[in-house]
Amino acid sequence: MHLSTYYSDASDHTYFGWTMWHIAESLKNGSLFNMQQFFIGNQFYPFSHSFAYSDHILFPGLVLFTPLYILTKQIILSVNLVILLSFILTFISSFATIRYFVKNTYASLIGALIFTYNPLMFASFPHHANLLQRYFLPLVFLWGYRYVRTPSWRSAIIFYGVFTLNWLTAVYFGIFTLIFIPIFCVPVLFSNFKKGLPYINKLLMTSIVVIIYIPLLYFVTKPYLIFTHKESITRNIVETLYFSARGIDWVSPDPRNMLYVQDHTHVNDNRFPKDILGFNFSEHTLFLNIIPSLLFIFGLLYTIKIKKDALSKSAMISFGTVFIISALLTFGPIYTGWNEPPNTNPQPLLYYYLYNIFFPLRALRVPTRFQYIFYIPFSLVCAYGMLFIRKHIGKYSQYILITFLVLSVIIVENVIQVPFTEQSRRIAQIQMYLMKNPQTFQKLFDAPTLHLPMYTKDVQFKELGYANWALYTHEKTVNGYSAFIPFDYQKIVKQSKTIDDTFIRYLGNIGVRYVIVHLDSLTEKQQKKILSNRYAKTLTVYKDSNTLILSINKELSIPPLCVKPHVSISINFPSEVPRLTLLPYTFTITNKERCAIQNLYDKRYLTSHVQIGDTKISTDSIVPFVIEPYSSATISGTLKQKPPYIYISPGEHTGKAYFPRFNKSINFAILAH
């Protein structure tokens, strides 16, 4: 990898870099210590909690990237060094974990190598860089085992500490450990009950240590909970079908692998599932490689037949349970056979039932990533496989030679054909602009902007080139890239196809100051259409063959913003509802003034307090970013509460809805039957 130059304008690798840059900048300006400000980000302006749309990667951003960035002053080099460090740290932590159980250095080196370098990791490399930050995963299991087996203040501090750090590293890994650590620790717990009350008292007493870490866990978790509640967002279980394993995934190597695959041009033709971009091999490469598979078989023979006490009975049950369950969960909610499209055989699997009872799982969409957990027991057993070989080789020198031979073959099995020569055109472009035209381009600093063209969801990764501009201009872009796309954002994408009066006025009303048109991303026909637009003549503040910048502030037709909105509100509930109801509603807000009502960030969530008889409910409704002068906005939904159903005693009731932001109350009548 070219550490100082390799960077993309359209991949998750770029998003990883932007995320860590945002963390470093937030530390610099102090917003890191304000949860609400920190989770806004400078993409997806003016959405609230937009940083929670994806992985926070707080630990690598704060502890690894920020010092490197301060030292080198180079974003690209710092990002790629973090990726390099992730391999080193993962190897060290997995070696320490395996060495604790295996008690053999050479065998542990092989096990750590298999955990660190494997087809699953290389299929995601370097784009899913957040998933390369695996260094705390083995340690959570190691110290979970040590703490439950022999409770002490030291082991409690370390266990809860690495659990918290793992949660601060990647959302996926945090949720994985939330599922598997209880499963892993239960057999160890039961095996130690024979120690009696002193053991139980010590375990309970030392568990109070978790209080130390709750503020950190709360800091990174609450914005996700707020966001999912206010937006009513969870991952639909149907969506996970496209990221669930088929049997063929476990025996198919990475199509870029130089040893096993010579021609991968037709990989999309015969593999399922396919999405709009074809077959996504990066999420469906679960092949274990041949040498690790053989070592795993040898390891099973060693622990079951040759040295039955190599692992304690409780540890064998713990690791065995994690091994089986993690493998099963990769297949997702529905059994899809060897290589079948989604929905061909609706037979529910373990994931389906866990999804319905374990809320955090609804934040994930890629079941195949459970193989990251699978590799913990797998690599441990592979290390025991080396002890099996040692058992059958007389000379120690021969064992060392075979160890390095196995190590070399494992490395060769993982070699993929990727040049890593890609460079960011947008970064080079904005650096050149800032150097040659500082007066013009420094105006973008901290300004709300929109980059055109905007891209639809299927090719939205192209928006990341605009995020690369923001690394140097700090602008707040309406554009954004994430696995989650707000519905209102998709409406803006649709509006952006035509630069007309309505769109310019809308941008002005939401506070956008500049529109940056990337002519070099348009066809010749599209360029002519843009350049002939009247706004290209009246609002232009910069123009060359590649870029056109429009200043929205120059448009005089944009109405002023309301300081104190004057509105009327009407609300409609069904005249009759069952006594157990979700209570659907429709309300209309009418702007009575010649100014525009702006609803940015948290103001997009309009709070209302509804009382029907003795039942009181508070709920948030999503309103448009702008309600234009003398116009109305109609919002429909159901009242949000837990549990979702509302009990209303039978009979006629009068109710009241109060909107504190506008200081408006509305009376209504409803009949429950």
State mean pLDDT over 416-426: 88
State mean pLDDT over 457-464: 83
Q: In whole angstroms, what separates CA 334 from the centre of its chain? A: 23
pLDDT at 344: 61
pLDDT at 268: 58
User: How does residue 131 score in pLDDT terms, banded at 50, 70 and 90?
Assistant: very high
CA dihedral in degrees (1, 282, 275, 277; nearest 10)?
20
Which pairs with CB-CB distance under 8 Å and at least 24 residues apart come from 49-53? 49/223, 49/226, 49/227, 49/230, 50/480, 50/482, 51/19, 51/22, 51/223, 52/223, 52/224, 52/226, 52/227, 53/227, 53/480, 53/482, 53/483, 53/484
Maximum pairwise Cα distance, the chain: 91
Closest Cα partner for 16 from 127, 166, 90? 127
d(CA 16, CA 249): 26
Give the best-scoring range by mean pLDDT among 109-118, 395-404, 559-568, 609-618. 109-118
pLDDT at 264: 53
pLDDT at 637: 80
Tell whether the model's pLDDT for residue 459 goes beyond 80: no
Domains (ranges, CATH) in the chain? 12-35+54-413 (no CATH), 425-554 (no CATH), 567-672 (2.60.40.10)
State mean pLDDT over 561-570: 93
Tell whether the model's pLDDT for residue 19 goes beyond 60: yes
The model's pLDDT over 222-251, given as tens digits with 9 standing for 90+, comes to: 999 988 888 878 788 888 988 999 999 999
State mean pLDDT over 407-420: 90
Q: What are phi and psi of 80, to 5 degrees?
A: -70, -30
d(CA 508, CA 46): 12
Range in 20-34, 124-138, 479-493 the model is least confident about: 479-493
Q: Which two tokens stand for residue 443?
A: 């105006």
Closest Cα partner for 329 from 357, 298, 369, 381? 369
State mean pLDDT over 406-425: 91
* pLDDT top residue among 309 and 450: 450
DSSP structural state of residue 555: -
Cβ atoms of residues 209 and 156 within 8 Å: yes
Q: What are phi and psi of 432, to 5 degrees?
A: -65, -45
Give the type of residue at 288.
L
Give the type of residue at 195.
K
* pLDDT top residue among 645 and 606: 606
Tell whether the model's pLDDT for residue 265 goes beyond 60: no
Q: In whole angstroms, what separates CA 43 from the centre of its chain? A: 15
User: How does residue 67 score in pLDDT terms, banded at 50, 70 and 90?
Assistant: very high
Q: CA angle, corner 632, sides to 628 and 633, nearest 5?
A: 100
pLDDT at 277: 66
CA dihedral in degrees (623, 624, 628, 632; nearest 10)?
-50
Tell whether the model's pLDDT for residue 432 goes beyond 90: yes
* pLDDT top residue among 500 and 346: 500
Terminal CA-to-CA distance of the chain, rounded, Å? Answer: 68
Tell whether the model's pLDDT for residue 574 goes beyond 80: no
Tell whether the model's pLDDT for residue 267 goes beyond 70: no
pLDDT at 271: 78
State mean pLDDT over 52-81: 96
Q: Is the dihedral of CA 624, 630, 634, 639 positive or negative?
A: positive
Q: Which two tokens stand for residue 401?
A: 């030679």
Closest Cα partner for 417 from 271, 253, 291? 253
pLDDT at 29: 93
Cβ atoms of residues 269 and 281 within 8 Å: no
pLDDT at 610: 86
In DSSP terms, 416 is beta-bridged to 257
pLDDT at 641: 61
d(CA 67, CA 62): 8
User: How does residue 618 score in pLDDT terms, banded at 50, 70 and 90?
Assistant: confident
d(CA 202, CA 639): 46
pLDDT at 1: 61
Closest Cα partner for 390 from 378, 381, 402, 372? 402
For a pLDDT cut of 70, what percent of the chain falls above it? 96
pLDDT at 484: 83
Q: Which two tokens stand for residue 65?
A: 């990237």
DSSP, collapsed to helix, strand or coil, labels residue 400 as: helix
pLDDT at 266: 57
Q: Which H or E run includes 375?
A: helix 371-391
CA dihedral in degrees (34, 40, 43, 44; nearest 10)?
-170
State mean pLDDT over 77-106: 97
Tell whether the model's pLDDT for residue 512 goes beyond 90: yes
User: How does residue 588 score in pLDDT terms, banded at 50, 70 and 90?
Assistant: very high
d(CA 506, CA 510): 6
Tell whether the model's pLDDT for residue 640 goes beyond 90: no
DSSP, collapsed to helix, strand or coil, labels residue 630 as: coil
d(CA 266, CA 263): 8
Range in 135-144, 162-171, 559-568, 636-645 the model is least confident about: 636-645
Between strands 476-477 and 632-638, the pairing is unpaired
- Within 10 angstroms of residue 522's Cβ, the number of other Cβ atoms is 17
Give the type of residue at 420.
F
Q: Which two tokens stand for residue 360?
A: 């955090």
State mean pLDDT over 362-379: 96
Closest Cα partner for 40 from 570, 600, 644? 600
Cα separation values, 325 from 47, 146, 257, 367, Å? 38, 22, 28, 12
pLDDT at 276: 64
Radius of gyration of the chain (CA): 28
User: How does residue 601 score in pLDDT terms, banded at 50, 70 and 90?
Assistant: very high
Q: Which two tokens stand for residue 293?
A: 């598979």
User: How does residue 79 score in pLDDT terms, banded at 50, 70 and 90?
Assistant: very high
pLDDT at 331: 96
For a pLDDT cut of 90, what percent of the chain falls above it? 71
State mean pLDDT over 361-368: 93
pLDDT at 212: 96
Which pairs with CB-CB distance under 8 Å and at least 24 residues apart come from 291-297? 291/406, 291/409, 291/410, 291/413, 292/114, 292/118, 292/378, 292/379, 292/382, 292/410, 294/385, 295/110, 295/114, 295/381, 295/382, 295/383, 295/385, 295/386, 295/406, 296/378, 296/381, 296/382, 296/385, 297/385
d(CA 32, CA 19): 13
Between strands 274-275 and 278-279, the pairing is antiparallel
Tell whether the model's pLDDT for residue 660 goes beyond 90: yes
Round the average pLDDT of the chain to a whole number and report it: 91
* Helices 197-206, 153-167: crossing angle, 10 deg rounding: 50
Supply the DSSP string of 530-551, one letter for each residue: HHTSHHHHHSEEEE-SSEEEEE
User: How does residue 82 score in pLDDT terms, banded at 50, 70 and 90?
Assistant: very high
- Within 10 angstroms of residue 243's Cβ, the number of other Cβ atoms is 20
Give the best-scoring range by mean pLDDT among 335-349, 389-403, 500-514, 625-639. 500-514
Tell whether the model's pLDDT for residue 272 goes beyond 80: no
pLDDT at 644: 63
